[in-house]
Amino acid sequence: MSIKILKTAFVIICLSVAGVALSAPVKISGKAAEYAHNSIELNIYHDFISEETIRLGDIRFNAEGFFEIEFDLTEISLCFADFDGYHGMIYLEPGKSYQLLFPPKRKLTEAQKRNPFTKPEPVWFGISKPANNDLNILIQQFEMAYSKYENEYFDQIFVNQSGSLVDTVKQKLSREFPKTSNSFFESHKLYRKANLEFALHQGKSTTFTESYFRNTKPVYNLGAYSNLFNQVFLNYFSFLENTTHNTVIKNMINTAKLQLLDEYFQKELNFNKELAHWVLLKSIKDAYYSGNFNKASILKMLDQTKELGWSSYEQKTALLIRKKLTYLTSGTLPPSISLKDLTGKTVRFSDFPNTYIYLHFTDPKNSVCRQHLDALKTIAGRYKGKISIINVIPEQANFKNTAEWAGIFATTGNNIKETYKVKTVPNSFLIGKDGKLLLSPAPNPIDGLDRQLGQILKSDHLKELQKQGGQNVR
C-alpha cells in the first residue's frame, strides 16, 4: 500500500472518530415534459422540531422537460419539494444518483393557492429503474402495506384500541417485510409499527417510552422516528405538570432553570443526555405556544444551550426554534424585502425616518381591497406627516393610481407568503419609528386602524409633553 493511500485512510479514520460527517455528491436527473420551463425548489429540514428548511437547490426543467442537479449531502436525508399542490418526498443517500419521476402536472386555481387550509398532497417521487434494495422502494412498499392495514383496521385500533389486533398487524408486516441488511429501513419499520402501539395509550406508558426512546439516542434524520417522537412528547411540560402535580417543574420553566430541568430529565426520568436535550427543545417550543408558561423565560432557556455546552446541532436547533418563535413578533426587525415603486425606483424602509410605516399588502383589482384603500386614504389625511404608507401590490401591467389612493405603490420579487406570511389580502404591519415591528399584524384600514393609530399618536404626544416638563398632563 502506498504512503499516499495510507495517509488518505488515516484522515478518513480520524474524521470518523472525531464525529465529522463526510459529504458526498448526490445527482438528480430525468425528464418530465409537462414541467418544461418550470422550476421546483428542493429542500431538507435542519431538524424535525424547528422544521427550518435548508435549500438544496432548484430543479430546473428545460424546453424539453430535461433536468439535472447535483449537490452534496453528509447523511441520508428526507428531501421534499412543494409544487402544484403536491408535497413530493424522497430519501437521498450521499454518493448516489437518481432519475426522478414526477406526478402528473396540475394547476391550482388562485383560490386554492390563497386558501390557508389547503394542504399539499403528500406523494413519494418515483425512481426510474431502481434497484430492488433501493431505500425508497423499500420504504414505499412498506408504506403501501402499512396504509392498507391501517385503513382496514382503523376503527378496531384507533377507536376500540385493540391491542391484539395491533400485534396481528405488526406480525403481518414482519412476515411481508422480513429483516434486511439496511439499518435505516429497519429503523423506519420499527418506528412505523410503534405508531400502531401509540394508538393504544398515546405513548404515555413507561414500557412504551423505554422501548422506543429512553434507551436509545434520537434518530435525527429519520422521518418515522420524528413523527412518533413529536406525538409522544407533545406539550410534555404540561403533561409532566399535570401527572406529577408538582409545582417545581413549572417553577423551573418560569424561572428559566434549563440546567435543573436537564438534570431532572436525566436523573428522575432516566432519559439519556441526547434524548433529554431533544425532548427539552421540543417541550420548550410547545410551551411557548401553549400560553401556560412565561414566554420570556422560555426564550431565555433557548439561549442557555450555548453556555451549558450542548452539542452544536442542539444549539443550532435551539437558535432556529427561537428564530421561529419570535418571527414577525412586535419588537423585532421586520423581514427585509426588495421593493420597487411603479417607476422602478427602489423603496427602502430607511427612506421614511421619524415616521411610522404602514406596510399594506393589497391588490387593487380586488373589490374588498379597494374599500380598504378608500378608507386608508381618509386615515392618511388625518395623520399626515406622522405615517408613511407603502402599498405592496402584485405586479400588474399598466397599473395607475387613478383613484389617488394614499401612499406609495410598490411591487416585490420576494415571496410574501414566506417573508410576511401573507396568505390573503389585505394584510398589514405597522413599523415603529425605531425601525422595529410595532403592530404585527396591524389592523387593516376598515378594521380599526384609525382608532389604533389615534391611541399610539396620543401616547407619543403625552410622552413629548412630559419631556418638556408637562408632568401634570393627564
Q: Examine residue 291 and state whether it is found in any structural domain, yes or no.
A: yes
Q: Alpha-carbon distance 55 to 405, whole Å? A: 39
Is the Cβ–Cβ distance between 97 and 27 less than 8 Å? Answer: yes
Q: Torsions phi, psi of 94, nearest 5?
A: -55, 135
- For 134, the grid coordinates are 433501493
> Do residues 379 and 446 both lie within one domain?
yes
Distance CA 328, CA 337 (A): 13
Element (H, E) at 427: strand 427-431
**Both 359 and 413 in a single domain?**
yes
Element (H, E) at 207: helix 206-209
Domain presence at residue 334:
no
Evaluate whether residue 472 is within a structural domain.
no
Looking at the structure, tell me whether residues 203 and 321 fall in a common domain.
yes
**Given this model, what pLDDT does residue 11 score?**
36
Q: Are residues 416 and 445 in the same domain?
A: yes
Looking at residue 19, what is its pLDDT? 41
In this prediction, residue 262 carries a pLDDT of 98
Contacts (Cβ under 8 Å, ≥6 apart) of 37: 61, 62, 63
Which of 298, 326, 354 terminates a domain? The answer is 326
Give pTM, 2 decimals: 0.82
Say yes or no: 47 and 115 in one domain: yes
Domain assignment present for residue 474? The answer is no
Q: Are residues 183 and 200 in the same domain?
A: yes
| Helix or strand (DSSP H, E) at 423 | none
Burial 240-268 (b: 16+ CB within 10 A, else e): bbeeeeeeebbebbbebbbeebbebbeee
> Among residues 73, 101, 129, which one ends one of the domains?
129
| Residue 392 counted as domain residue | yes
Look at residue 244 in the predicted model and tell me its pLDDT. Answer: 72
User: What per-residue confidence (pLDDT) applies to 18?
Assistant: 37
Answer for the pair 347, 390: CB distance below 8 angstroms, yes or no: yes
What local confidence, expressed as pLDDT, does residue 334 receive? 95
Angle between helices 247-254 and 236-244 (to 10 degrees): 150
Cβ neighbourhood burial of 463 (10 Å; 0-12, 13-18, 19+): exposed
**Per-residue pLDDT at 9:** 37
Structural domain of residue 88, as residue ranges?
3-129
141 and 122 both lie in a single domain = no
**Residue 331: inside a domain:** no
Residue 332 lies in a domain: no
> How many structural domains does the chain have?
3
Question: Is residue 230 domain-shared with residue 371, that is, in the same domain?
Answer: no
Instruction: Give yes or no: residues 91 and 190 share one domain.
Output: no
**Does 97 share its domain with 240?**
no
- Please, what are the averages of pLDDT over each run of 10 residues along the chain (474 residues)? 39 38 90 97 97 96 98 97 95 97 87 68 94 93 95 87 92 96 97 92 79 93 96 93 82 97 96 98 96 94 97 98 94 94 94 95 95 96 94 88 96 91 93 95 95 93 80 51
* CATH classification of the domain holding 452: 3.40.30.10
Among residues 104, 129, 154, which one ends one of the domains?
129
